[in-house]
Structure 1
């Protein structure tokens, strides 16, 4: 039977559910996996262990009002990625049987509840009784001790007590058996479980003790129990934690391979459905599970790489880790490009929509456990297709150049690929360095990482110089245009290709620098910007509110001009940039390659602007006219005529109409039409006062332009977005995904402005808004006190600065205002109760009516200043039964803040004896610090000090001062 057709008794889904059911039966709450992209934890590139989401519990910083604060036992299967940063398994994927960039970590946790005995008991029972694993194959380790730490004899004895033979219980050092979260923080000894994959010989198992923790592929670690009992202090010392915790982690894929009796994780049904789908797509031979020299055609390795990378990318994208050039986004991009090359080179398939064909199988396989990939399936597919297509543009050319570099290195007798060449493959063709390293290994060459870093730094420094010159700008003026018109060999630029999506080959017709037209880039001073005119271009020059394209003009492997700006002057499209390497002359044939990954969001935003324009007309009426727009990669801006600001209800209607239009996935049509004929189309929108070319380009969302022209006065066209527009657009509105309004404001009398985002950026602002809403919900559950008041100020500041949906922000502000009102109510209620507390204390202390005066301390509170003032006021009232008793009250903060609040009242008969409030207070302020207020001769005084540690001295001095009066 084929590996791909096997139906194991312990299927992957059953293995996972059995784990969760076992711990649920033993009192553990199921906690869904946290996001694999830890957007709220900047210290992590990706979630790389099951305990990441519980860090606040272990560190004692958990919000007391959150659900986690009450959590005692938990279990789950956590999504993890190790493909960048400190934990990076990318280079090993495909080469061995157990490394993955994405994997699941099964875990059970105790937060100050059970400890070693139960953890070890659960482990052994689940392994041997529930899963039925032969105990003879299992080995366990314990911490052998180090420095001032004693051996973990307790763990060793507990393993013995559950039935593990002594020769299967092994000591381990700090590296293997002492787990630490980081340089500081919770840590403790750990105890691993290892499994011997080897079959018995003549019915007898061989002892595997010597192979444990030796990186032997036949004796593998499957579970680790961490006994968190210390905190690593900043000075590296260890301090016992107030609560002891259990943190465990078991590799799901490894456990499945053990239960299915496979030597490789990839031979299990975690991966075989994906292999089957890859085979169906490619028509390749079946997966045979071979490695290294036993896989001479590399097909099995390619199966493993592609299946692994599909999983990693899908889960990363579903959780918000979209491909880009920074941090975790760049890791996702690297993984995709690595996988794309494997697919193209080993399976001989076209790149552009390869990975997306595998996604439905993955969703079917894992969507029930992780519903986020089911919910985001279409987004994952679209993003992967977009990235693949962008890389496909340069993959063939990059590989061709790579072969030239290899031949050059071998001809020179070098075993190294030069760092400059490696960097150029990344910078020009998008080949991540680790992909080039893989390709170099295939050709028997090495890469010197230091050389690559030096080449990168050199390019960065050169770029700084170029950008310094950018501020001056390269522009054509009226004299330049007159000169061009007189040049028979420099025609106006054919820019009709700007609406396409492909690279084109063009001819350089002119090179412009410092008011001169040159014949060669060699005439341009090094590092200075210059302009290039082509016979034809696919670059979009800035116009109609849409920003310019960036990209490059190049002759593969020989020369490259980086293009940073594109402007059009009377039909001449000027590409402004700088020479990156090589040299070009007038007449050179170059590949014109715009940056597809920059243009894609611009396309989304431009079609989004048309949809928004339509939605505004539908909501506010036909008197709405466009007054201007900006289409950039990160946002769109739309100005329109309207007398008043939009209400939340109107904004919601605008968003709803836009969303409906987008979700219809309407096709976008465009056609050049004679201007007079185009103006006859009913419902067509144009900018008032704008001069349009003839013919004019008509963009219609939903109906072909030919159909509009055939029945130009049809009232149905009022319900379409139809505009005159020369910009770039999506093929279908579904590509836009979402449109979210961030801001609606007035910019002039009768003119309003909307700022909105589409696509992935729209998802990002929605996620940020939802996360902030969760924080406000948690805030609402906090108990009243200083922490809640401080959090209120922090949330208010953050909310004002937040870039999220305008509707969401309005909703959050309303919810927050209600909560703040409740805080004010709580403050008033607390203040009233606190005032009564202090007054009751004084009243109870003066039960003895013969008492001449009272000097006392009262407990501290955030309201104590007010409470002491109000009590002094109440005591001194002419109607107060206590008015004949002098009173001095003190309170000191216990939190180390050093604050002292004090206040006094001098009764009339004591005043007659020469006492007054300010004089009494002046006796204690040198001791408690600060000063006291009150007019000379007044009966009352209130003060604040900063010496909380001397408050008792102040109390004694106040008492002695009154006694010295002889009262």
Structure 2
């Protein structure tokens, strides 16, 4: 057996299966596309689920991939063991109703023995105990001795998840030798010891399991194999752990260098070194696929990994920020296989640097607070930190719950996770905003998958906005039908369509589908599975039938307004890169006929000056009237030309490139103007933050800018009329009015203070002596709180040993004010304590210092009773 590097193994695997007429697909994004059941891709077959279900058509019946994967369930074990990792690569070959067990087993054997040259005498296999077919292939065709073929039960060698496609599997094992074994007679695959390592699983999907638990043979049988690349690399490089294989060891060596620690000397240090090595690889790939750190979902996974790695850097004694520098090592060993890492290097490093910087700003304070909590637990002889305190660390100092748990577990403490989750849910309830529904159909809901639609639906809407078409499928009331009439809400599939389906941030087209006797108003167009285009609408005239010929007409006005906005997003993205920097990348977009919304990666709010510069650049290229060129070409050619692609987007071999003059070039499937001048004009209406490291710009174009200008013109004219000034003199006149108003306000304030002072002089005659205190208690009507303070201050300063209790009714509000002089405070008076009880009577609340306190109230009928309560309190001081 020759030693072989991880990258070489990957290349050989894909090359081998390409020679067996497999379509070699590049890795899908770690972010699942149109699959809400997964947080992150965790297996090679996960992105191809719909191919196995027959819901989407694969590019070939034979495919092979090396898929990036993340498994979050292993995070807590990473570092503690030699084998666990969060990020890994899975090699896989797949057949969708093409070849089956014979080819899968024979080709698998050929690859590992002829291409990888694994020693045959070290190879064992397992099969499902009832799968005689696989057993006979291994024994008779491959020639493995029967003693090295192990039959195992359903738990080990049968793949199924609930109902649906399932089947037996066969696993290939490598015998690492007696020194790794348990020493027991009969030790073989299936034993719990470390001697036999499974590295390639071949799943034979040949049954369908129904809800009754019965298995029926599938008409089209599938093959799904998975081989962990890191695991086979361990075998090929004759090492015991994934951290010793060439690629990971390169990163690990760099971690040792910057921490000045030697691996293998001290277990505590080894744990931290392994955590950093694994996590920096995972976060580099996650960010490269468009994931950003935040407090939910996959963003939380990323933040957790980043902050866990940063903390373990501190445990190793690494000073300052260091994680972004390690990205260079990840790219060095993985960049050739995954070019997006190279393309997005600066972006990945910037995101990591900013997140590490944020954590650095709070970690010391958070650790200090956590130490106080631990000290308190020790004093109270408790072993569990409350969920409320754990949530404070999370909410205030950015400590993920798992990081708090990890730190506490190192000291033999735990966290009340249930109460933490309650605090989290309470916060979500307070902050939750209404979310729109996703109109994309998931496969479970796609009734059209039940319809036999022979030909692929052709979208002709780039160049045509109306066309003669034919209805090929129809749904009403969530049921397949052949007829619909007036009032029915329907979903329609045409054999071809000019209607653009929602996608790429662009809304679906609206319009009309009609015949001589019927009319359907289409209010949305969406994508279904297998490239179906589904028109949602309502029959408003006559009756429609499947097979009817129809006239499909897109609403031209709405389409053009949407196209203006979509084209403007391309100009906007390029302008942002020019003004703010090359780290700008699209993080989401939405365009309809009214406005555009563009989310992008940036780390601080944008100044008005910078926004104006961006706006001017976009308008300059609109006014230059640059032609928009749209071409289909190979993805490699497009990237070589410098076309921008979206994070996490999976592109085929051929892509659509939208080029605006020499200024902007992007991969895009949306609809656009033919010349930038058709956009008309561009106006930014807002800029805001939507998540950590993500900003949002909303803007309008064309007719919507004109509408906004008309609105502003109307406002200016109305102001002009009201202040009796010409529009061009409005600013000067308004500034003068503001200045006059400020002067008048000062005069009024002086008059109020003077009036309040006079009022205070009169009130001095109303002093009561209670329990040795000189007390003034009074209710005022139509006196504001500021005047109330002036009166009370003067009384407090002029009367020794005084307590003042005031209530003021002003418009729809009640204000209570209590003041106490220094002498009164020394004798036990406390304004804050008095006002709490006073305001409570009137169903209000408030508080304050010993010398002054303020509160509100709700019950106007209880004001006098509230004042009496204050006098009663003074009696008992």
**TM-score, L = length of structure 1:** 0.47
Inter-partner Cα distance in structure 1 for 2:291 and 2:402: 20
Inter-partner Cα distance in structure 2 for 1:165 and 1:59: 36
Task: State the Cα deviation string for residues 50-80 of structure 1 (Å, max 9, x = none).
Answer: 11222222111114xxxx24x1222221111
1:660 is matched with 578
1:437 is matched with 405
Counting only pairs closer than 5 Å after superposition, residues 819-898 of structure 1 correspond to structure 2 as: none
Closer, same or farther: CA 249–647 of 1 in aligned 2, 3 Å: closer
Inter-partner Cα distance in structure 1 for 2:122 and 2:297: 42
Secondary structure in 1 aligned to 2:41?
A: coil
Does 1:268 pair with 2:245? yes
Q: Which runs of 5+ in 2 are unaligned?
A: 435-562, 585-603, 623-643, 658-663, 676-877
Task: State the Cα deviation string for residues 879-921 of structure 1 (Å, max 9, x = none).
Answer: xxxxxxxxxxxxxxxxxxxxxxxxxxxxxxxxxxxxxxxxxxx
More strand by share: 2
Does 1:104 pair with 2:89? yes
Q: Which runs of 5+ in 1 are unaligned?
A: 1-7, 145-150, 469-644, 667-726, 746-764, 779-803, 816-967
Task: State the Cα deviation string for residues 669-694 of structure 1 (Å, max 9, x = none).
Answer: xxxxxxxxxxxxxxxxxxxxxxxxxx
Does 1:347 pair with 2:347? no
User: Which of 640, 646, 661 is the aligned partner of 1:767?
Assistant: 646
1:198 is matched with 177
Closer, same or farther: CA 215–447 of 1 in aligned 2, 3 Å: farther
User: Which of 252, 258, 261 is the aligned partner of 2:235?
Assistant: 258
Inter-partner Cα distance in structure 1 for 2:280 and 2:605: 31
The alpha-carbon deviation at position 332 of structure 1 amounts to: 0.7
Whether the 8 Å contact between 1:179 and 1:187 is mirrored in structure 2 is yes
2:262 is matched with 286
Closer, same or farther: CA 214–90 of 1 in aligned 2, 3 Å: farther
Inter-partner Cα distance in structure 2 for 1:141 and 1:807: 47
Whether the 8 Å contact between 1:278 and 1:303 is mirrored in structure 2 is yes
The alpha-carbon deviation at position 335 of structure 1 amounts to: 1.0
Secondary structure in 1 aligned to 2:274?
A: helix
Whether the 8 Å contact between 1:741 and 1:805 is mirrored in structure 2 is no
Closer, same or farther: CA 213–773 of 1 in aligned 2, 3 Å: closer
1:896 is matched with none
Closer, same or farther: CA 383–167 of 1 in aligned 2, 3 Å: same
Inter-partner Cα distance in structure 2 for 1:29 and 1:226: 19
Does 1:78 pair with 2:67? yes
2:710 is matched with none
Secondary structure in 2 aligned to 1:325?
A: coil
Inter-partner Cα distance in structure 1 for 2:355 and 2:11: 35
Closer, same or farther: CA 739–339 of 1 in aligned 2, 3 Å: farther
Inter-partner Cα distance in structure 2 for 1:731 and 1:393: 28
Inter-partner Cα distance in structure 2 for 1:76 and 1:657: 37
1:20 is matched with 14
Does 1:398 pair with 2:366? yes
Closer, same or farther: CA 772–130 of 1 in aligned 2, 3 Å: closer
Closer, same or farther: CA 22–207 of 1 in aligned 2, 3 Å: farther
Task: State the Cα deviation string for residues 615-668 of structure 1 (Å, max 9, x = none).
Answer: xxxxxxxxxxxxxxxxxxxxxxxxxxxxxx9899998767655543444899xx
User: Which of 386, 395, 407 is the aligned partner of 1:418?
Assistant: 386
Closer, same or farther: CA 741–208 of 1 in aligned 2, 3 Å: farther
Counting only pairs closer than 5 Å after superposition, residues 717-866 of structure 1 correspond to structure 2 as: 767=646, 811-812=671-672
Inter-partner Cα distance in structure 2 for 1:407 and 1:80: 40
Counting only pairs closer than 5 Å after superposition, residues 519-918 of structure 1 correspond to structure 2 as: 656-663=574-581, 767=646, 811-812=671-672
1:95 is matched with 80
Closer, same or farther: CA 233–131 of 1 in aligned 2, 3 Å: same
Over aligned residues, Cα RMSD in angstroms? 4.4
Whether the 8 Å contact between 2:174 and 2:198 is mirrored in structure 1 is yes
Closer, same or farther: CA 346–741 of 1 in aligned 2, 3 Å: farther
Inter-partner Cα distance in structure 2 for 1:230 and 1:739: 62
Whether the 8 Å contact between 2:566 and 2:671 is mirrored in structure 1 is no
The alpha-carbon deviation at position 737 of structure 1 amounts to: 13
Inter-partner Cα distance in structure 2 for 1:172 and 1:450: 39
Counting only pairs closer than 5 Å after superposition, residues 101-250 of structure 1 correspond to structure 2 as: 101-144=86-129, 151-161=130-140, 162-180=142-160, 182-198=161-177, 210=187, 212-250=189-227
Closer, same or farther: CA 189–429 of 1 in aligned 2, 3 Å: same
Whether the 8 Å contact between 1:33 and 1:77 is mirrored in structure 2 is yes
2:342 is matched with 374
User: Which of 51, 73, 88 is the aligned partner of 2:45?
Assistant: 51
**TM-score, L = length of structure 2:** 0.51
Inter-partner Cα distance in structure 2 for 1:457 and 1:663: 38
Inter-partner Cα distance in structure 1 for 2:234 and 2:363: 36
Inter-partner Cα distance in structure 1 for 2:123 and 2:293: 41
1:316 is matched with 286
Task: State the Cα deviation string for residues 310-345 of structure 1 (Å, max 9, x = none).
Answer: 111111111111212221111111111111111112
Inter-partner Cα distance in structure 2 for 1:277 and 1:268: 14
Inter-partner Cα distance in structure 1 for 2:114 and 2:652: 45
Inter-partner Cα distance in structure 2 for 1:127 and 1:316: 31
Secondary structure in 1 aligned to 2:199?
A: strand
Inter-partner Cα distance in structure 1 for 2:566 and 2:204: 53
Does 1:277 pair with 2:266? no
Inter-partner Cα distance in structure 2 for 1:140 and 1:51: 22
Residues matched between the structures, number: 501
The alpha-carbon deviation at position 174 of structure 1 amounts to: 2.2
Secondary structure in 1 aligned to 2:39?
A: coil
Inter-partner Cα distance in structure 1 for 2:292 and 2:314: 22
Secondary structure in 1 aligned to 2:646?
A: helix
Closer, same or farther: CA 52–775 of 1 in aligned 2, 3 Å: farther
